[in-house]
């Protein structure tokens, strides 16, 4: 199975700050990577697919980049409603696998 490793596991930042989350795959996955946002007690919400393509309706402050094994999710200006846990997921190989999550909080 492809292992997905996210760093950091948690981040605390001020409103308006730039936040970057990194996801590393244990082997190359091309751009077969998605990002999800999950708020406490809620279902995940899809943000990005194909490493950098924004799902319709997702605010433009979210962006993704990377290819191969290293990927990033960036929130350009952190907002209070962005408090959540963020997960990456690879869909290059079966089984699809998720990263361990990054909890984003407001300082």
Nearest-angstrom CA–CA distance, 38 and 10: 14
Minimum distance from residue 42 beta carbon to other proteins (Å): 8
- Residue 44 within binding range of other proteins, rule CB under 8 A: yes
Closest separation between CB of residue 68 and other proteins, Å? Answer: 18
Q: Which of 99, 93, 88 is CA-nearest to residue 27?
A: 93
Per-residue DSSP letter, 18: -
Of 49-68, binders to other proteins (CB under 8 A) are: 49-50, 55
Query: Given candidates 32, 66, 73, 78, which one binds other proteins under the rule CB under 8 A?
Result: 32
Integer Cα distance of 46 and 69 in angstroms: 20
Q: Which residues sit at the interface with other proteins, rule CB under 8 A?
A: 32, 34, 36, 43-46, 49-50, 55, 87, 89, 91, 94-101
């Amino acid at each position: 199975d492809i292992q997905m490793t996210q760093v950091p596991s948690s981040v605390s930042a001020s409103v308006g700050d730039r936040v970057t989350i990194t996801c590393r795959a244990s082997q190359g996955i091309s751009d077969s990577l998605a990002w999800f946002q999950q708020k406490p007690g809620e279902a995940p919400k899809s943000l990005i697919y194909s490493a950098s393509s924004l799902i319709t309706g997702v605010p433009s402050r979210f962006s993704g980049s990377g290819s191969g094994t290293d990927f990033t999710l960036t929130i350009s200006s952190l907002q209070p409603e962005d408090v959540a846990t963020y997960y990456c997921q690879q869909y290059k190989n079966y089984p699809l696998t998720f990263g361990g999550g990054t909890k984003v909080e407001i300082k």
